[in-house]
């Protein structure tokens, strides 16, 4: 069994690869468990050095996901599953429309067509986003059947991706499923161009002893989910039988709605005697305008019924980050 993870050298891609290596098996196109004998991480940028826990255990290919021939070459066998994580993120999509279209739409179509070209129906798990929702009529709490009216280019491309996953699955080309994600915390490393980057930064930077510039007001609420449960959710969604999902393959992942102030309070509870960097509130109208288009609560009853995991609070998420990235 071969697993391809696009956007694979990113944080979630690496964590997912580790989880799959630990499992050793996932369901193949036949619906039966199969041993994983190859994991390929595909990304636009090569990692700067060996990937801890993955060195020598995975294959890494770098290139442009909009290169159709290259994407097809990655999917060179029929016993294959795909986790499609590659994407231009929200803030980046607003800054560069053409890049978002090239990567998110052209790249996504390449992945689906390459999977379609294989014999059988490969399972394709697509990383979507709560940003598919928006607009003046958006309710406070969005569910799997809430009308989508995205207010960012990023959200629009994710909504299109969900529709394509549904239709390619309906036609029998693939066995697809879309993971509609809340904001993922805590991402290690440097801030990225995602408008939600501050949700990780407000934990990560203080723990590194650095100042966090918070671009939104502390009372700003957001649905979030810890990275451990994001990864576990991807795996469990992959394993759900097609007949259970039915015609609508997009699933709101479980989430926890917290304000930035509540996140900071959780950080301080967990940090204990650790020296924390300062948090400076400096609202950025551009970021605030994007965040204001997103829902603040997600109805995840369907995901919970399918056995997808959820966090119980901010504290365990911060504890996991410290354990995995600061105390290792």
Q: Rounded mean pLDDT of the chain?
A: 95
**pLDDT at residue 96 in the model:** 96
Better pLDDT: 62 or 92:
62
- pLDDT of 193: 77
Predicted confidence (pLDDT) at residue 31 exceeds the cutoff of 80: yes
What's the chain look like in SS3? CEEEEECCCCHHHHHHHHHHHHHCEEECCCCCEEECCEEEEEECCCCCCCCCCCCCCCEEEECCCCCHHHHHHHCCCCCEEEEECCCCCHHHHHHCHHHHHHHHHHHHHHHHHHHHCCCCCCEEEEEEEHHHCCCCCCCCEECCCCCCCCCCHHHHHHHHHHHHHHHHHHCCCCEEEEEEECEEECCCCCCCCCCCCHHHHHHHHHHCCCCEEECCCCCCEEEEEEHHHHHHHHHHHHHCCHHHHCCCCEEECCCEEEEHHHHHHHHHHHHCCCCCCCEEECCCHHHHHHHCCCCCEECCHHHHHCCCCCCCCHHHHHHHHHHHHHCC
Query: pLDDT at position 56, please?
Result: 86
Determine which one of 154, 168, 227, 321 is catalytic: 154
Write down the CATH number for the domain with range 2-184+225-255+296-311. 3.40.50.720
Task: Give the pTM.
Answer: 0.95
pLDDT digits (tens, 9 = 90+) for 46-91: 888 888 889 889 999 999 999 999 999 999 999 999 999 999 988 8
CA-CA-CA-CA torsion for 12, 184, 327, 47, nearest 10 degrees?
Answer: 30
pLDDT digits (tens, 9 = 90+) for 246-298: 999 999 999 999 999 999 999 999 998 899 999 999 999 999 998 988 899 99
- pLDDT, mean of residues 9-34: 95
The share of the chain scoring above pLDDT 70, in percent, equals: 100
pLDDT at 328: 60
- Nearest Cα neighbor of 100 from 111, 85, 113, 90 is 90
Phi, psi of 128 (to 5 degrees): -100, -165
According to the model, what pLDDT value does residue 246 have? 93
pLDDT at 63: 98
Residue-range domain boundaries for the chain: 2-184+225-255+296-311
> Is the pLDDT reported for residue 183 higher than 90?
yes
What is the pLDDT averaged over residues 191-205? 90
120 vs 210: which has the higher pLDDT: 210
Known active-site residue 168: no
Residue 194 predicted with pLDDT over 90: no
Q: Which two tokens stand for residue 232?
A: 């576990």
For residue 191, name the pLDDT band (cuts at 50, 70, 90). confident
């Amino acid at each position: 069994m071969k697993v391809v993870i696009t956007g694979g050298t990113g944080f979630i891609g690496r964590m997912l690869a580790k989880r799959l290596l630990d499992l050793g098996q996932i369901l193949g196109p036949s619906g039966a468990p199969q041993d994983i004998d190859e994991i390929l991480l595909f990304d636009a940028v090569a990692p700067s050095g060996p990937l801890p826990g993955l060195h020598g255990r995975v294959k890494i290919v770098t290139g442009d996901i909009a290169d159709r021939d290259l994407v097809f070459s990655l999917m060179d066998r029929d016993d294959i599953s795909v986790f499609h994580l590659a994407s231009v993120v929200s803030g980046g999509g607003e800054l560069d429309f053409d890049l978002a279209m090239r990567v998110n739409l052209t790249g996504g179509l390449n992945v689906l067509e390459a999977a379609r070209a294989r014999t059988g129906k490969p399972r394709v798990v697509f990383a979507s986003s709560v940003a598919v929702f928006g607009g003046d009529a958006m309710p406070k709490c969005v569910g799997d059947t809430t009308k989508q009216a995205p207010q960012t280019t990023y959200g629009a491309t994710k909504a299109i991706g969900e529709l394509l996953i549904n239709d390619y699955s309906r036609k029998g080309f693939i066995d697809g499923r879309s993971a509609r994600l809340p904001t993922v915390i805590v991402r290690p490393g440097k801030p990225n161009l995602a408008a939600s980057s501050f949700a990780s930064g407000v934990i990560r930077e203080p723990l590194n002893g650095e100042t966090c510039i918070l671009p939104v007001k502390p009372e700003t609420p957001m649905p979030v989910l810890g990275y451990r449960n994001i990864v576990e959710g991807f795996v469990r969604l992959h394993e759900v039988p097609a007949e259970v999902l039915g015609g609508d393959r997009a699933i709101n992942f479980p989430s926890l709605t917290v304000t930035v102030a509540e996140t900071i309070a959780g950080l301080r509870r967990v940090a204990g005697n650790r020296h924390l960097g300062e948090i400076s509130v400096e609202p950025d109208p551009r970021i605030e305008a994007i965040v204001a288009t997103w829902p603040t609560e997600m109805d995840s009853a369907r995901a919970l019924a399918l056995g997808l995991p959820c966090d119980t609070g901010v504290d365990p998420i911060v504890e996991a980050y410290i354990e995995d990235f600061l105390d290792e």
